[in-house]
């Protein structure tokens, strides 16, 4: 084939999303090929091409071609629309956009599933971390307490981990103590790990400022005073 003939034949532009997701949304390879044929004709300005011609392009009988189009319509991959053209004449056209709505729904479903999987992994790791810190298996009641924190109190797993670390630093391995820490944070409207850490830094800075007189500058090489661990339960 001469280059001029190749260039004159034009090209069909196909979205990469379509290539990636057509099988995932339920399009068979044959249905997808027919969809591409419709897309090809539409990009040439033919919104309602002759299905017999398309069937011939695909090596199918007219009956097989019509059956494939009917399948695409029934599964809502495409729509048949009727409108008036610029000349006022009634015209039929294939709307090929519904397939992208299905792809969008599929992508949203995948993202949701990824989030669910990630959340389940975090919860599983949360149970394991408690058992590591307590150096023993958790009791059924303790499992239920963690579940209550997650589902009823709506505490984020990261926030519960931070409360566990606070309890460990104070060497208090007790679920009631951890629950009191979480309630204390909730009363202070600290609902995320980042908010708690920011509050901790703020309080440490306030303690340092209070312990050092105004105008005091420690000599070079002089170690700064240790900031004591902040006890959230004695702050009220």
pLDDT score, position 209: 77
Whether the pLDDT of residue 222 is over 60: the answer is: no
pLDDT score, position 79: 96
pLDDT score, position 230: 57
Q: Which CATH number fits domain 9-96: 1.10.3720.10, 1.10.10.10, 3.20.20.80, 3.40.50.920?
A: 1.10.10.10
Give residue-wise pLDDT tens across range 52-68: 999 999 999 999 999 99
Instruction: Name the class of domain 114-211.
Output: mainly alpha
* Residue-averaged pLDDT of the chain: 87
Whether the pLDDT of residue 234 is over 70: the answer is: no
Min mean pLDDT across 17-26, 88-97, 161-170, 217-226 is at: 217-226
Give residue-wise pLDDT tens across range 120-139: 999 999 999 999 999 999 99
Among 199, 206, 198, CA closest to 227: 206
Enumerate the domain spans of the chain.
Answer: 9-96, 114-211
114-211: same fold as 9-96?
Answer: yes
Tell me the DSSP string of the chain. --HHHHHHT------HHHHHHTTTTT--HHHHHHHHHHHHHHHTT-SS--HHHHHHHTT--HHHHHHHHHHHHHTTSSEEEEEE-TTS-EEEEEE-THHHHHHHHHHHHHHHHHHHHHHHHHHHHHHHHHHHHHTSPPPHHHHHHHHHHHHTS---HHHHHHHHHHHHHTT---HHHHHHHHHHHHHTT--SHHHHHHHHHHHHHHHHHHHSPTT--PPTTPPPPPPPPP-GGG--
Whether the pLDDT of residue 213 is over 80: the answer is: no
Among 116, 175, 173, 117, CA closest to 149: 175
Model confidence at 219, pLDDT cuts 50, 70, 90, reads: low
Model confidence at 203, pLDDT cuts 50, 70, 90, reads: confident
């Amino acid at each position: 084939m001469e280059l001029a003939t190749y260039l004159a034949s034009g090209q069909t532009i196909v979205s990469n999303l379509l290539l990636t997701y057509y099988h995932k949304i339920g399009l068979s390879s044959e249905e997808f090929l027919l969809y591409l044929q419709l897309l090809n004709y539409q990009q040439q300005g033919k919104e309602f091409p002759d299905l017999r011609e398309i069937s011939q392009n695909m090596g199918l009988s007219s009956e097989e071609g019509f059956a494939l189009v009917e399948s695409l319509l029934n599964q809502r991959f495409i729509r048949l629309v009727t409108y008036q053209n610029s000349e006022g004449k009634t015209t039929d056209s294939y709307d090929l956009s519904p397939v992208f709505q299905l792809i969008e729904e599929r992508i949203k479903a995948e993202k949701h599933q990824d989030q669910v999987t990630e959340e389940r992994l975090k919860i599983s790791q949360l149970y394991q971390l408690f058992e590591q810190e307590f150096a023993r298996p958790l009791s059924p009641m303790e499992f239920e307490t963690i579940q209550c924190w997650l589902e009823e109190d709506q505490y984020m797993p990261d926030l519960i981990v931070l409360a566990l670390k606070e309890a460990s630093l104070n060497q208090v391995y007790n679920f009631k103590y951890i629950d009191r820490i979480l309630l204390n944070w909730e009363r202070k409207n600290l609902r995320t790990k980042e908010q708690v850490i920011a509050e901790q830094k703020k309080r440490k800075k306030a303690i340092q400022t209070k312990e050092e007189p105004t105008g005091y500058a420690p000599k070079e090489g002089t170690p700064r005073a240790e900031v004591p661990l902040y006890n959230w339960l004695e702050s009220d």
